[in-house]
């Protein structure tokens, strides 16, 4: 069981600089920006040229993105166990190397099998090592009182990449072709990301003689090295044992229902807007606005979690998605659709930081990686089936509206699950 931390109430001693944990947050933001931007957000730009050049269907090319999510979910429990035991730094360096090698090989493929091996294999595993488990565990180690806002800021990079990388990828493909774009992606993890990780990332504040948040418990002098907290011991236990815990299933269902709805709406909102008669430029503005609001939602709901509770913050997060999606369905014009997308995006932004915060609240920091990894495996069906469901509904009805109504049902179920989730820590 994790040792109970002493209250961190005394101000940090004057050091003439910023608490090092905020440098950790900045590094995490950059890592997640690069990872999400070069994989998830850029892939939509590559879909058509890859399909045409390789001579295969878009479904075959798009399946590689599903493989990326599948590999991440399967590797999640192993990554979580390792990050609990040894920290995030070495996993992140390995992830950068795998992504770089995977993109380099990707730029030279001649068929769809090569696409699956390089992008769906090496790049996917590298992205998983640089994904939410390692970054959430890293930032969580450095903060207690400001954990919500720290996680929220660190994960802004995911949303910012959605606003930037699609345009960057479009320009690269237009100028250098898809092979040139992918070749440029291969340089980024090794040339930019790996040095940041090597220089900045430190697994725990104790490794630098610091306390979480830069604060010192009452009655202890900051120079007392013996008084520094010992790193929480990673608890042993198998994936099977983790999956026996009822609260894990409740939390995975809660977050998975949200991911299934939000991820699908984000993927089809551009098509939905053009189906309503708006231009591609206006549809892109709707999507960009949704991504921008999601960037604001991460620190916003992080602050709510710090000041109230992660559980109450999640309630507000679901509420924003419900109001936003209903407004998208009923929007009488472009301005209303834009406002609805902002509200929906705000709620979407809180999901990833609240996933980590709720996991810590229920299971403790020492088990964060292992439990998040197990839950990613449980949530996989929601992540894989949401978009195919929405597109199948459109193919049958000519509209995304029935799918959006179904997603409102998912959110209603999520609210019920949230009400069943205990507010205190899980019994050990």
Closest CA to 313 of 254, 262, 378: 254
**Which residues, listed in sequence order, are joined to residue 10 by a DSSP beta bridge?**
216
Q: Both 308 and 390 in a single domain?
A: yes
Which residues lie closer than 8 Å to 129 by C-beta, 6 or more apart?
75, 79, 91, 92, 94, 95, 98
Which range among 76-90, 160-174, 316-330 has the greatest average pLDDT?
316-330
Integer angstrom CA distances of residue 111 from 14, 143, 173? 59, 46, 19
Q: Both 29 and 117 in a single domain?
A: yes
Confidence of residue 63 (pLDDT cuts 50, 70, 90): confident
CB 211 within 8 A of CB 8: yes
Domain boundary residue, one of 153, 186, 205? 205
Confidence of residue 1 (pLDDT cuts 50, 70, 90): very low
User: Per the domain annotation, does 8 fall within a domain?
Assistant: no
Q: Both 176 and 321 in a single domain?
A: no
Provide the pLDDT for residue 232: 53
Count of domains for the chain: 2
CATH number of the domain where residue 392 is located: 1.20.1250.20
> pLDDT tens digits for 338-378?
999 999 999 988 888 888 888 888 887 777 777 878 888 88
Q: What is the mean pLDDT of the chain?
A: 83
User: Per the domain annotation, does 219 fall within a domain?
Assistant: no
Q: At residue 192, does pLDDT exceed 80?
A: yes
Q: Both 122 and 245 in a single domain?
A: no
Provide the pLDDT for residue 239: 65
Q: Both 49 and 187 in a single domain?
A: yes
Separation CA 86–CA 75 (nearest Å):
16
Q: Both 395 and 258 in a single domain?
A: yes
**DSSP element (H, E) containing 34:** helix 21-36
Separation CA 248–CA 251 (nearest Å):
5
Separation CA 60–CA 115 (nearest Å):
10
Domain boundary residue, one of 155, 184, 205? 205
Q: Both 181 and 63 in a single domain?
A: yes
More confident residue, 108 or 146: 108
Token pair recorded at residue 57: 């269907």
Query: Domain limits at 167?
Result: 21-205
> pLDDT tens digits for 96-133?
999 999 999 999 998 989 999 999 999 999 999 998 88
Domain boundary residue, one of 186, 205, 224? 205
- Percentage, residues of the chain above pLDDT 90: 30
Q: Both 184 and 243 in a single domain?
A: no
User: Per the domain annotation, does 15 fall within a domain?
Assistant: no
For range 259-286, the mean pLDDT: 82
- Percentage, residues of the chain above pLDDT 70: 89
Closest CA to 265 of 341, 156, 165, 378: 341
User: Per the domain annotation, does 177 fall within a domain?
Assistant: yes
Q: At residue 427, does pLDDT exceed 50?
A: no
More confident residue, 12 or 98: 98
> pLDDT tens digits for 373-402?
888 888 888 877 777 777 788 778 888 899
Q: Both 279 and 332 in a single domain?
A: yes
User: Per the domain annotation, does 224 fall within a domain?
Assistant: no
Q: Both 173 and 264 in a single domain?
A: no
Q: At residue 267, does pLDDT exceed 80?
A: no
User: Per the domain annotation, does 214 fall within a domain?
Assistant: no
Q: Both 197 and 279 in a single domain?
A: no
Confidence of residue 223 (pLDDT cuts 50, 70, 90): very low
Token pair recorded at residue 201: 């990332």
Q: At residue 32, does pLDDT exceed 80?
A: yes
Q: At residue 307, does pLDDT exceed 50?
A: yes
Token pair recorded at residue 31: 């890592």
Confidence of residue 188 (pLDDT cuts 50, 70, 90): very high
Residue 232 burial (CB count, 10 A):
18
Q: Is 221 left (phi over 0), alpha (psi -120 to 50) or beta?
A: beta
Q: Both 81 and 125 in a single domain?
A: yes
Which residues lie closer than 8 Å to 78 by C-beta, 6 or more apart?
373
């Amino acid at each position: 069981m994790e040792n109970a931390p002493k209250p961190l109430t005394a101000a940090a001693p004057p050091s003439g600089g910023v608490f090092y944990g905020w440098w950790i947050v900045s590094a995490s933001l950059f890592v997640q920006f690069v990872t999400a931007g070069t994989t998830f957000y850029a892939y939509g730009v590559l879909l058509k040229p890859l399909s045409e050049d390789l001579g295969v269907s878009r479904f075959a090319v798009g399946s590689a993105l599903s493989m990326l999510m599948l590999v991440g979910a399967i590797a999640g429990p192993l990554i979580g166990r390792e990050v609990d035991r040894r920290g995030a730094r070495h996993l992140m360096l390995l992830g950068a190397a795998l992504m770089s090698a995977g993109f380099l090989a990707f730029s030279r493929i001649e068929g769809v099998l090569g696409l699956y091996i390089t992008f769906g294999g090496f790049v996917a595993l590298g992205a998983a090592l640089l994904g939410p488990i390692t970054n959430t565990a890293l930032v969580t180690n450095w903060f207690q009182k400001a954990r919500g806002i720290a996680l929220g800021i660190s994960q802004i990079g995911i949303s910012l990449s959605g606003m930037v990388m699609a345009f960057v990828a479009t320009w690269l493909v237009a100028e250098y072709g898809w092979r040139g774009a992918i070749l440029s992606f291969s340089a980024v993890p090794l040339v930019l990301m790996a040095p940041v990780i090597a220089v900045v990332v430190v697994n725990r504040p104790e490794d630098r003689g610091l306390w979480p948040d830069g604060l010192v418990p009452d009655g202890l002098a900051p120079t007392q090295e013996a008084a520094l907290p010992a790193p929480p011991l990673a608890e042993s236990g198998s994936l099977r044992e983790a999956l026996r815990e009822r609260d894990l299933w409740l939390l995975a269902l809660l977050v998975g229902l949200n991911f299934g709805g939000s991820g699908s709406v984000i993927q089809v909102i551009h098509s939905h807007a053009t189906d309503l008669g708006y231009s591609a430029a206006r549809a892109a503005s709707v999507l960009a606005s949704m991504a921008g609001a999601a960037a604001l939602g991460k620190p916003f709901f992080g602050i709510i979690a710090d000041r109230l509770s992660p559980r109450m913050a999640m309630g507000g997060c679901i509420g924003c998605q419900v109001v936003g999606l209903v407004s998208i369905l009923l929007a009488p014009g472009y301005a209303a659709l834009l406002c609805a997308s902002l509200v929906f995006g705000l709620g979407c932004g809180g999901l990833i930081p609240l996933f980590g915060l709720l996991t810590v609240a229920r299971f403790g920091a020492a088990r964060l990686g292992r439990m998040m990894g197990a839950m990613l495996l449980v949530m996989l069906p929601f992540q894989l089936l949401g978009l195919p469901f929405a597109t199948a509904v459109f193919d049958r009805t000519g509209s995304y509206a029935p799918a959006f109504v179904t997603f409102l049902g998912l959110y209603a179920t999520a609210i019920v699950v949230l009400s069943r989730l205990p507010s205190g820590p899980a019994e050990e």
